[in-house]
């Protein structure tokens, strides 16, 4: 009887610990907007006054990323001041685990040296970086940020409209949530402290990236990858395959050398019949797998991740059956055709 009572007591204590442990783990309510599909950060190299800057260089730290420009009269300095206050709400040991990167979308006026001086007005450890217009466009597209250079006035001055949210990247290099501009420094501190101690409570399954489910949904397309791929497509592929991916109207006509004009890349063509690796090879090598094709080779122009973004954009135009087929989850069976019965001769 004593043993049974002791066993029941141990089980009861275990249940209590599990319940309270779960409550403490799940009780945090994020002030930042948690992304349902965390995004792996793109390997874009920017420049600062201290040299090249890559977001993956800060692996193991949380990153607060903000897009703006140094001539911004109100939003940017307010956001950076708010971030500074949020970090001051952490212990020195906690704050050392957060890296702030301010990326200027106005490289014509914001040199790396000017950016270095600007961000140090807020905190010495902040990093200011920028790049070419193409690099900035790739980066803002990847993170779903927007900006617009406005018209110059009579004195040559101009303003820049831009999104005002602060992006949070986790220790493993995934964009997992964003803070709206109105988020208070106290609320930001609370989210940062929680992530420093616990990390995101959605971890492995979501952070693994796109998920594949047969028949019902072949692939989950990350919206930021689709947007980035569309930008890359319009700047590198649209002149041949068309802005709407419809290809050359005469693409099915075989030319004298056995090649074809650029085919459709949407669901009306045959691109979806190739595996993703085959599509990468075709785009990078500038030739089809079994016959010549009229397209340039992009191996020296586009990185692998850029090609994958383009393919993700292409996939966004395919239907569910084509996605499932392309990912090996089903075989498309040709529809049966009726063959007319032979005529029976009259007696």
Please give the Cα distance from 142 to 157 (Å, whole number): 29
In contact, 221 and 209? CB cutoff 8 Å: no
Judge if 191 and 51 occupy the same domain. yes
Does the pLDDT at position 117 exceed 90? yes
Phi and psi at residue 51, to the nearest 5°: 125, -165
pLDDT of 68 > 70? The answer is yes
The answer for residues whose C-beta is within 8 angstroms of residue 57's C-beta and 6 or more apart is none
Mean pLDDT of the region 15-38? 61
Q: Tell me, yes or no, whether 40 and 99 share the same domain.
A: yes
* Residue after which a domain boundary falls, among 148, 177, 207: 207
Q: Is residue 216 part of a domain?
A: no
The residue segments making up the domain with residue 50 are 33-207
Name which residue leads in pLDDT, 251 or 341: 251
* pLDDT > 90: percent of the chain: 33
2-16, 28-42, 254-268: the lowest-pLDDT one = 2-16
Token pair 């709407």 is found at: 244
Q: Are residues 138 and 230 in the same domain?
A: no
Work out how many domains the chain is built from and give that number: 2
> Within its chain, how far is the Cα of 139 from the centroid?
9
Whether 64 and 154 share a structural domain: yes
What pLDDT was estimated at residue 98?
96
Q: Is residue 232 part of a domain?
A: yes
* In-domain check, residue 25: no
- Name the strand (E) or helix (H) holding 174: strand 174-179
pTM of the model: 0.54
CATH number, domain containing residue 287: 1.10.760.10
| 141 and 233 belong to one structural domain | no
Could you tell me which of 51, 62, 128, 120 has the C-alpha nearest to residue 96? 62
Instruction: Give the per-residue pLDDT at 239.
Output: 85
Give the Cβ contact number of residue 220 at 10 Å.
14
Q: What is the CATH number of the domain that holds 40?
A: 3.40.30.10
Task: Give 104-166 as a DSSP string.
Answer: ES-TTT--HHHHHHHHTTT-TT-EEEB--HHHHHHHHHHHT--EEEPPP-TTS---EEE---E
Identify the H or E element spanning 68: strand 62-68
Residue 62 lies in a domain: yes
Which position has the token pair 């040299």? 51
Element (H, E) at 5: helix 2-26
Q: Which residues contact 333 (CB under 8 A, 6 or more apart)?
A: none
- Each residue's pLDDT tens digit, 91-114: 999 999 999 999 999 999 999 999
Tens digit of pLDDT for each residue in 161-201?
999 999 999 988 889 899 999 999 999 999 999 998 876 54
| Local confidence band at 121 (pLDDT 50, 70, 90 cut-offs) | very high
Q: Are residues 311 and 260 in the same domain?
A: yes
More confident residue, 346 or 137: 137
Q: Please tell me whether residues 201 and 289 are part of one structural domain.
A: no
Q: Is the domain of 248 the same as that of 165?
A: no
For tokens 């991740």, the residue is 305
- Reported confidence tier of residue 70, pLDDT bands at 50, 70, 90: very high
Mean pLDDT of 11-16: 45
CA angle 114–84–198, rounded 5-degree value: 125
Q: At what angle do helices 75-88 and 185-198 cross, to 10 degrees?
A: 50
pLDDT for residue 156? 84
Residue written as tokens 């204590």?
Answer: 13
- Residue 338 domain-assigned (yes or no): no
Asked if residue 54 belongs to a domain, the reply is yes
Q: What is the mean pLDDT of the chain?
A: 79
Strand partners, 98: 62
């Amino acid at each position: 009887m004593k043993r049974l009572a002791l066993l029941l007591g141990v089980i009861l204590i275990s249940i209590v610990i599990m319940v309270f442990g779960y409550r403490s783990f799940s009780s945090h309510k994020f002030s930042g907007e948690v992304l349902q599909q965390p995004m792996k950060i793109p390997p874009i190299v920017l420049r600062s006054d201290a040299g090249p800057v890559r977001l993956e260089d800060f692996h193991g730290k949380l990153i607060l990323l903000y897009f703006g420009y140094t001539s911004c009269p109100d939003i940017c300095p307010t956001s950076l001041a708010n971030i500074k206050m949020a970090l001051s709400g952490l212990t020195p040991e906690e704050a050392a685990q957060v890296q702030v990167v301010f990326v200027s979308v106005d490289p014509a006026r914001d040199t790396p040296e000017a950016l270095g001086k600007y961000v140090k007005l807020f905190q010495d450890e902040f990093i200011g970086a920028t790049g070419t217009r193409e690099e900035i466009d790739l980066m803002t597209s990847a993170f779903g940020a927007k900006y617009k250079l406005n018209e110059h006035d009579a004195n040559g001055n101009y303003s820049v409209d831009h999104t005002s949210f602060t992006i949070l990247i986790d220790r493993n290099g995934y964009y997992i949530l964003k803070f709206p501009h109105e988020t208070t420094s106290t609320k930001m501190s609370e989210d940062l402290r929680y992530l420093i101690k616990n990390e995101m409570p959605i971890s492995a399954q979501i952070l693994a990236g796109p998920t594949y489910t047969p028949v019902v949904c072949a692939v989950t397309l990350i919206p930021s990858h689709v947007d980035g791929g569309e930008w890359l497509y319009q700047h590198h592929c649209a002149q041949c395959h068309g802005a709407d991916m419809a290809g050359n109207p005469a693409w099915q006509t075989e030319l004298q050398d056995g090649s074809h004009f650029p085919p459709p890349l949407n669901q009306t063509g045959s691109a979806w019949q190739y595996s993703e690796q085959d599509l990468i090879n075709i785009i990078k090598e500038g030739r089809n797998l079994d016959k010549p094709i009229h397209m340039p080779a992009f191996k020296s122009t586009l990185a692998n991740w850029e090609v994958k973004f383009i393919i993700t954009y292409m996939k966004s135009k395919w239907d569910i059956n084509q996605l499932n087929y392309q990912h090996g989850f089903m075989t498309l069976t040709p529809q049966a055709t009726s063959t007319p019965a032979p005529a029976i001769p009259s007696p």
